[in-house]
Structure 1
């Protein structure tokens, strides 16, 4: 199992179609062992064969999307139309993310025409304290915010809010204004604006953001559109929750 997992990790790192010899070299396995294990992985749809090369299979994606439970998947299906609306309004890179402990997980992403270099991709995790979506979510989750502060706020860039008092003050402003900004705090040259998507309990279930290169991107310009789309997305979440409750109520004697 260890050897098979090493092969899968090597395929993921190489990000494409790779031959047996290269995979064996990368994984420090003999070619015969790599070939035998790839055959087993292929039969289980964990890898796909393309001619004489291999790439990750569809089953890997199915397993990966379930890593954080069913909620992110359900939210992605429900909120994807609103993410698409946001993209159409801005043509910038847009994100949908959820909070997982003190980190955020990117559930979906649509790339803009002038996308800036970013550490975000679907399934990626980043510390919540230094991202727009993360701060938008932490501002309304006291326990998670305090846990993040207690773990420390190491500076990822020279702009990261690493001082606990300044960080708490920033979360207070986000609670008041309902909008969060990331001015090159997660990655140099990257700026974004984010808002929470509220659920039926009045707490956020996800966050939406728009991101772009700091040299040309004015996040305040896109704040009104982001607020409108997030408001509609929140209504969709609440409506979906109401529909889920209705059959249960009708089933009661």
Structure 2
């Protein structure tokens, strides 16, 4: 969340210079957002200046955040803490930590097979969220980064996931299928037709639809209920990339990844039953 760019966009301030009508929670969250927008470690004085809080308030709130591992202290400066990452990976998907554990080895396999940029993504409403990414040696400009969101309708991973979710398809169409490039599909009928094809052959393409010059091929990772839990993609520069030739490798990796996820899910679901049996004995 960008910081307000003008005094009129900020909360009104008291005589001490500190924004009023803010709770301690508001101020603490504002500190975290400010830290996220700064590179490296930042001192108390600079944080107080950026957030228009007094130094004493800033120092006190940083102490609370530090005790809860939401910020880390480096000398007299502060930076975001590891606990934020632990919380963040649980935001999207039914069980992101499980997906990470099961799917990261397969994402690494996909990279070794292609040496191009590879992604792992999940569907969140009508957006996709990049859960992980391994950058290729010849990477091109891309908006993908871990934690980033993009409209599902204009990405390979997004279409691979949307194709199996009727409600999400209709919600994406209702949102307007916004054109990010001249190649983005904005026609609802053509979009539905493309998703029908993806359901049949299990492969989705993004041909410069999200970013000019970037092409990718994606496949869903199917869960035991017959719906995808995530998707893999391979992406590269359009002028040298033939996405269809990577489809067989993607299918093989996604098949093995689905087996791993489904086995791990079944094991976790069965664990309470085994405990119940032991208790009954």
Instruction: Assess same fold via TM > 0.5.
Output: yes
Q: Find the residue that maps to 1:55 and give its secondary structure.
A: strand
Map Cα deviations across residues 30-70 of structure 1 (whole Å, 9 max, x no partner).
Answer: 33332332222222211111122211011111121222365
Report Cα offsets for 1:110-162 as digits up to 9, x if no partner.
11122222222222222111111010011111121112111211111221111
1:66 aligns with 2:79: no
Deviation at 1:235, TM superposition (A): 2.1
Alignment partners' CA distance in 1, 2:55 and 2:26: 16
Matches within 5 A, 1:1-253: 1-68=25-92, 71-244=95-268, 246=270
CA contact (8 A) 2:93 2:124 kept: no
* 8 Å contact from structure 2 (residues 151, 158) kept in 1: yes
| Change beyond 3 A, Cα 1:194–1:155 | same
CA gap 1:186/1:14 in 2 versus in 1, 3 angstroms: same
Aligned length: 253
Q: Which has the larger radius of gyration?
A: 2
TM-score (norm 2): 0.83
Distance in structure 1 (CA, Å) of the matches to 2:271 and 2:77: 50
Alpha-carbon deviations, 1:173-195, whole Å to 9, x = none?
Answer: 21122100111212222211100
List gaps (5 residues or longer) in structure 2. 1-24
Q: C-alpha separation between the residues in 1 aligned to 2:154 and 2:93?
A: 24
Which ranges of structure 1 fall in alignment gaps of 5 or more residues? none
Deviates more, 1:7-16 or 1:34-43: 34-43
Give the distance between the partners of 2:62 and 2:269, measured in 1 at CA. Answer: 46
Q: For the structure 1 residues 191 and 41, does the alpha-carbon distance in structure 2 shift closer, same or farther, using more than 3 Å as the test?
A: same
